[in-house]
Each structure stands twice: as structure tokens, then as C-alpha cells.
């Protein structure tokens, strides 16, 4: 009974909540686009994203390179990783990227080891990996991105547990 009497009020309240929800979703989308969570080069139409797996001291990093070009394949690319050698060791710092057909993606998997992983070290210094996508013919990067590495989980030894 009560719903029938206040149906208009209930509908208007629903519409207001729906508008607020859509506005918040649009704001968050713009915030993520402006923050550069996925590095993109619109001139070359290439995008890179990364996923860091593991709790340390060994991490697996999976890069996904997307060719957003509709007609042109991407070729002659290399991925260069720059890390602080005091903190990390990469399985490979220079990776050749094979031809990526239009509208396709290519995954690159590599392993990163935290050098500050000894049990006596309590420093959890977060660091970044700099990733550059370059062409073999030029020294100017096509795309650059920063990958924030998570701090390593603390290692507890028997003497540290009281």
C-alpha cells in the first residue's frame, strides 16, 4: 500500500542515486585515465600494462603490449628495463619484441629478484622499474612507463619470534 502511495518519490530517489552513481563512475574513469595507470602512446598507438605477482623476494612481472593500430603491425621494437642494481636483479634487461599484428597484444614475462631479501635486513624500500619501448633504429623511446614494485613481505626467523 505504502509503495503505491509514494511510488513517485521512490522513483525520483532511485533516479537521483543512479545519476550520482554514473557521475562517480565517470569521475573515477577520468581519474584513472589522467593518472596514466596504463601507459599509452597515441601517436604510435601502442599501450603497455604490467602485473606484478609474488610476495618476494622473487617477483614475476607480466607485461602486456597492445598494438592499437587498426592497419599497421608493430615491429622492430625492444623493451629496455632500468632498475636500481642495489635493489633488484632482472632476468633480462633487454627484450626483443616480435611483430605484433594490428589489434593484437603480446605478453612478456620476466622475473625480478629483490637483492635486499636477507633475513637481517628490515628495510622495505619500495622501488620502481623503468620500462622503455624503443625502436631498433632510434634512441628516442616510443613509450615509457614506471612499474611500482611492492615492498617485500618481512621474513621472520626463529630468533626474531619471541
Please give the grid coordinates belonging to residue 28. Answer: 573515477
Residues 102-149 pLDDT 10s: 999 999 999 998 887 654 555 556 578 899 999 888 878 888 888 888
Residues 46-88 pLDDT 10s: 889 999 998 878 899 999 999 988 899 999 999 999 988 888 8
Beta strand pairing call for 94-97 and 77-82: antiparallel
Q: What beta strand segments (E) does 3-160 contain? A: 39-41, 46-53, 58-67, 77-82, 88-90, 94-97, 105-114, 128-135, 141-148
Contact 154, 117 (CB under 8 A): no
CA 110 – CA 64 distance, rounded (Å) = 12
Amino acid at each position: 500500500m505504502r509503495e503505491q502511495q509514494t511510488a513517485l518519490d521512490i522513483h525520483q530517489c532511485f533516479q537521483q542515486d543512479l545519476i550520482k552513481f554514473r557521475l562517480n563512475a565517470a569521475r573515477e574513469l577520468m581519474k584513472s585515465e589522467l593518472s596514466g595507470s596504463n601507459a599509452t602512446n597515441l601517436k604510435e598507438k601502442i599501450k603497455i600494462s604490467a602485473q606484478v605477482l609474488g610476495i618476494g623476494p622473487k617477483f614475476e612481472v607480466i607485461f602486456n603490449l597492445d598494438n592499437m593500430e587498426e592497419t599497421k603491425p608493430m615491429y622492430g621494437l625492444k623493451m629496455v628495463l632500468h632498475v636500481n642494481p642495489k635493489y633488484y636483479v632482472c632476468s633480462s634487461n633487454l627484450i626483443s619484441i616480435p611483430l605484433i599484428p594490428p589489434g593484437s597484444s603480446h605478453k612478456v614475462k620476466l622475473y625480478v629478484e629483490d637483492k635486499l631479501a636477507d633475513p637481517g635486513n628490515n628495510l622495505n624500500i619500495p622501488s620502481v622499474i623503468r620500462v622503455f619501448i624503443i625502436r631498433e633504429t632510434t634512441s628516442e623511446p616510443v613509450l615509457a612507463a614506471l612499474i611500482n614494485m611492492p615492498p617485500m613481505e618481512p621474513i621472520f626467523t626463529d630468533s626474531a619470534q619471541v
